Amino acid sequence: MPNPLLILASQSPRRREILSLAMIPFETVHIDTPEIFDPGFSLDENVRRIALEKASAASHLFIDKEVLILAADTVVVLDGKVLGKPGNHDEAFWMLRSLQNRKHRVCTGFALLSADNSFAECVATEVEFEPMTADEITRYLDTVRPFDKAGSYGIQDPLMACHVRRIEGCYYNVVGLPLSSVCRAMKPFFS
């Protein structure tokens, strides 16, 4: 039996770049689903559930095809509070200011879904920044405009990379997809 077609349910260029490192052919689809946290569930449960909801929504586009759908949701967590995507420049500035000179966690829930099986996992990475001045934060925000990124930053951005003191865990998880965990989880889906 041939391997299923791998579908990445995301339009994130960062996730596409990371997944391409695995050298497995894949296609992408855009899925627009609500990313609502349920206070009755833990953070890990929420990001796994949201990723599975994205994968499930994508599966409806492939009713008659053998596919393996990969979806993910990434959040930044500081002192137990989720920092999502900023609504504006001021909120982004506040987020980055809050993250300075302290550790925070980046959690990515990812889900794999096929016709017969599903799998979901949450991967966490700790990140610590060197202090940034108000001018450095403003320069980063004005230059990179990271308003589509959880926590208001992309660790892969050159201006931000200059301020990373320490990472404990998977670097690619912070970018948006924990590649080694995803590859390990995909093995049972492929022959």
Inter-CA distances, 136 with 22, 126, 141, Å: 35, 22, 9
Given the residues 73, 79, 135, 142, the one annotated as active site: 73
Angle at the Cα of 128 (from 125 to 131), degrees rounded to 5? Answer: 160
CB 73 within 8 A of CB 35: yes
**Does residue 73 carry a catalytic annotation?**
yes
Q: Which of 66, 62, 58, 42 is nearest to 189 (CA)?
A: 66
Q: Per-residue b/e over 29-48, b at no fewer than 16 CB within 10 Å? A: bebebeeeeeeeeebeebbb
Helices (H), 21-68: 43-59
Active site residues: 73
